[in-house]
Amino acid sequence: MKINVELRVRLKVADLVAQTAWMTLTEKLDFAGILQGIVRYSYWAMDADGTDGKSILDEIDRVVKLDGAFTNQNKHCYSLRGFMRPGAEMDSVRGDLILDRDFPVIAGKRGRSAGVFAWDLLIREKDGGREEGFSSRLNGRLSGVEVSAMKAGEVWRVICDSQDEKSAKRMVERMAVTRSRREGLLLNPHYQQYEFIGVTAVGGGKGSKA
Amino acid sequence: MARSFKGKVAIIQFPGVNCEYETADAVRAVGIEADLFRWNEDPVLLEETLAVILPGGFSYQDRIRAGVVAAKDHIMDKLSRIAAQGRPVLGICNGAQVLVESGFIPGIHWESVDLALAPNVMADRDGYYCDWVFLRNEDSRCVWTGAFARKEVVPVPIAHAEGRFVTGDSGILEQMKKNGQIALRYCTDRGGIDGGFPVNPNGSVENIAGVCNPDGNVLAMMPHPERASWLRQVPEDLPGSWGRKRNQASGKFERMEEPGPGRTFFSSLLSIAGHVREKSGGQGKEAGR
């Protein structure tokens, strides 16, 4: 059977890159009071073929725990999730990162607008060169499971104060896509692409899968 | 007494750069004064600077993306005005990444980010790459290459992981070519253009190694000319005339102290120094064009 697998890894020690993004967005790009928090994950999503969903997850879990290209348990926490089909998550999350509770709000001005929304933005390189490498690395270590259609990149969870989900999305886009010296930070669209992969209402409003 | 950069080249020291001292030495070697300017000093100090250089290194530890955090710094407001006035600005390696992320380069639409310096694409390897490469001086209006002969081949070292000039807008590339903004291209030791590795060491589009703005006063280049400013810095086994010259100088201290191939980038400044001093005192173009 084939399932879709998503792996997210983040530092469990202080993430200085995320802190620098926070400071740059709030102090140099005028998003103070709007940006409430920011979290950065390494991200992999893939199709995985094996005997059954549970054994597929067990086997991928075994490999990603051991392989430093994915996690180093001294400094990382991770979440490994399986989906029978888009949106249909299996009831067997692996790892020590609880994504549904990972909304560290840094700023103190919560609730100025109607709600606080956390958008997950996936950033990948356009040529996708790294993805082939990760695929073959995993396939070389997995037993009885084969992965394909790998997506690898970085996910930024951008938490912002906004009237609604849609305007929060527009705000995140403005923070992320570098179009000029005064606009955008997280990606350069000349070699990177992005997609929104999820949203959660952290305070007020209702989130949904993008 | 207050510090003054009048008539000097200001080398901008962002946190994390590491080539500022040798860059200042390379400028001084051509007879122009140079001094370091810490990024959080008062920008007014740069009012009468002759030129500005953003040196190589890892500004802000390359966090998020090489050069992007420095590009958002307030000091860049001042550099934008200096560049728009026509004063020379050079970005070397990480400095080039800052200029690209600031939109000073290509500068067709001022401060619009129209290029990227993406991760290297190399045969059978990825990440950081360090080696001597050959550059060909192209027909351009660039003031920083003005002292080179037309199509002169210049050996200079590179050391980077993100140096691949790329744009998602093919119109920008055409415009750059039309404007004569491609100042330097990677080439063979005889000046031939070969897109493959290692002649093109990072997969840059059209072998681009350096791009100037339409006016030619701002140059972003990935290679390090300050690391090729003395003959002693050139490897003995380098193919071509510079390698032979270096080989012949072995053991002869005085000859080893002669200029290397990269020094010409800095001596190009000599020919315009008087002109720039005169212009900076008068009415410059406004920033934000």
The model's pLDDT over B215-250, given as tens digits with 9 standing for 90+, comes to 999 999 999 999 999 999 999 999 999 999 999 999
A185/B64 CB distance under 8 A: yes
B65/A187 CB distance under 8 A: yes
For residue B112, give the nearest of A174, A88, A20, A183 by alpha carbon. Answer: A183
| Amino acid B183: pLDDT | 98
Instruction: Please give the residue of chain A at the shortest CA–CA distance from B164.
Output: A191
Name the interface residues of B facing A (CB cutoff 8 Å).
60-61, 63-65, 68-69, 71-74, 76, 80, 101-103, 111-116, 118-119, 121, 126, 164, 166-169
Residue B63: CB atoms within 10 A of its CB come to 19
Residue B187 annotated in active site: no
Buried b (16+ CB within 10 A) or exposed e, A157-173: bbbbbbeebeebbebbb
This prediction has a pTM of 0.93
pLDDT digits (tens, 9 = 90+) for A90-124: 887 899 998 888 887 766 555 556 689 999 999 99
Going by C-beta distance under 8 Å and a sequence separation of 6 or more, which residues neighbour residue A95? A61, A77, A78, A79, A80
Q: Which of B19, B22, B93, B212 is catalytic?
A: B93
Cβ atoms of B127 and B161 closer than 8 Å: yes
How many angstroms separate the CA atoms of B261 and A147, rounded?
51
Contact of A163 with chain B, judged by CB distance below 8 Å, is answered with no
Element (H, E) at B227: none
A188/B65 CB distance under 8 A: yes
Contact of A179 with chain B, judged by CB distance below 8 Å, is answered with yes
State the nearest Cα–Cα gap between B166 and chain A, in angstroms: 7
For residue A71, give the nearest of A132, A9, A122 by alpha carbon. Answer: A9
Give the confidence band of B288 by pLDDT, cuts at 50, 70, 90. Answer: very low
Give the confidence band of B287 by pLDDT, cuts at 50, 70, 90. Answer: very low
Q: Which residues of A fall within a CB distance of 8 Å from B69?
A: 20, 24
For the segment A23-28, the average pLDDT, to the nearest whole number, is 96
**ipTM of the complex model:** 0.91
| Amino acid B271: pLDDT | 81
Give the confidence band of A10 by pLDDT, cuts at 50, 70, 90. Answer: very high
Pairing verdict, β B89-92 and B51-54: parallel
pLDDT digits (tens, 9 = 90+) for B172-214: 999 999 999 999 999 999 999 999 999 999 999 999 999 999 9
Contact of A89 with chain B, judged by CB distance below 8 Å, is answered with no
